[in-house]
Amino acid sequence: MTKTVYYVTIRDLSKDRSLGVIKKIKGQLKAFKDLGVDAHLISLYDEEVQIDGKTIGFTKHLRNRLVKQFKSSRFFKITRNNVAWQSDSILYLRFLKVNYSVIRFLRYLKRKKFTVVVEYPSYPYSVEDKGLKAKYYSLLDRILKKTFNKHVDLTVNFNNLKIIENKPSIPISNGIQVKPLPNLSNWGIKNQEIHLIGVANISFWHGYDRIIKGLAEYYKSDHNSKVFFHVVGDSSEKKNLEKLVIKLKLEDHVIFHGFQSGTSLSRLITQSNIGVGSLGLHRLKLDSTSTLKSKEYTLNGLPILVDPKDPDFKNVDFAYLISYDESIIDINDVVRFYKKLISKNENNQYIQDFAVKNFSWTAKMQEVLKFAS
């Protein structure tokens, strides 16, 4: 008998700021379906409670539009009473602050012999406690957490933890959509040119300044290849990088493309040789890192410059592990890395194959189903 999974999140998926979350949730849901699971999404869309896009209720009371603090309570009450729950199924709950309505909801499903899986987007999680109402919810979360945990069978985390709240936990990393497969990027050196590309909503922790400073040193020394760095994205940090490029007189070697998407972005990626991941994550003092963009580069067959604390790129020849500090990137060494790679491999198909096998949401969620079933 095919298992049924109900993916529940109280996150409002109509908000623009949720675009990254929406992409992730859709990827996870599609993965469940690709694995032969009867999967359903229950979520908020504006003030509507929806299952698979169909409205089953409203979180705002029709006679009182000021009861915002009861949104969670109404969401779970509507969900409990208006969904045809299939017994002996799996609840996949994206974590939220604990309150009485969540407890009642879990109790109801446990009576129907549900396996309850809770995803923690980050752990330890922080509960906002500024303001009287926030302090109340923070206190409630602490009081009810033990009761909440009694109804949880398994947790999922992105922090490489095997136990959370005394429950077994599956450590996974963010996955990517692998279909349709993108075109493979450039392989080999044409006209003695090597093109690096960094795509991001540029922040200081992307560490692109380390590449730019490395290029300045590279062009001061003897070199056989012309190396270019294409920066794709916008933000206030981009202005700092532009100033640095002017100061180091690298305008001919560092190209700023601004925000790009769709065909124009795909074209830039396929014309590149190496993808640049986040090179400044040490500035955030993270113990473990895993970034989506590096995985997306490999789906295009791009070798990558990547943080050494990323567990997804251990012992692979196409990942150049940069130092976890402020040192300038040695571009000569990066060139040697790429030349060695193309001398050993006829093409970059094997990089894309690795990405499909290891980074797809299907591979990630298969681990969850294995433990939950």
Distance CA 317, CA 341 (A): 7
Distance CA 78, CA 7 (A): 15
Q: Which residues of the chain have pLDDT under 70?
A: 1-2, 16-20, 61-70, 126-131, 133-134, 287-289
pLDDT at 126: 62
- Kindly give the pairing relationship between strand 193-199 and strand 167-171: unpaired
pLDDT in tens, 154-200: 999 988 889 999 999 999 988 988 878 999 999 999 999 999 999 99
Distance CA 347, CA 349 (A): 6
Q: Nearest 5 degrees, angle CA 306-CA 316-CA 219?
A: 45
Buried b (16+ CB within 10 A) or exposed e, 28-49: bbbbbeebebebbbbbbeebbb
pLDDT at 16: 53
| Other beta carbons within 10 Å of 143 | 11
Distance CA 293, CA 132 (A): 39
pLDDT at 46: 86
Distance CA 349, CA 363 (A): 19
* 153 contacts 88 by C-beta, under 8 angstroms: no
pLDDT at 69: 47
How far, in Å, are 141, 255, 256 from residue 252 at the CA level?
55, 7, 11
CA torsion angle 267 15 368 310 (round to 10): 50
Distance CA 176, CA 141 (A): 32
* 28 contacts 107 by C-beta, under 8 angstroms: no
Cross-strand pairs, 168 = 163
What are 195's two structure tokens?
């093109």
What is the set of domains in the chain, with CATH numbers? 4-171 (3.40.50), 193-359 (3.40.50.2000)
How far, in Å, are 155, 158, 235, 284, 354 from residue 170 at the CA level?
6, 9, 35, 24, 21
Q: Nearest 5 degrees, angle CA 114-CA 118-CA 124?
A: 155
pLDDT at 63: 46
pLDDT at 334: 98
What are 269's two structure tokens?
């990626």
* 112 contacts 4 by C-beta, under 8 angstroms: no
pLDDT at 72: 84
Q: Which of 293, 288, 294 is nearest to 311 (CA)?
A: 288
pLDDT at 12: 85
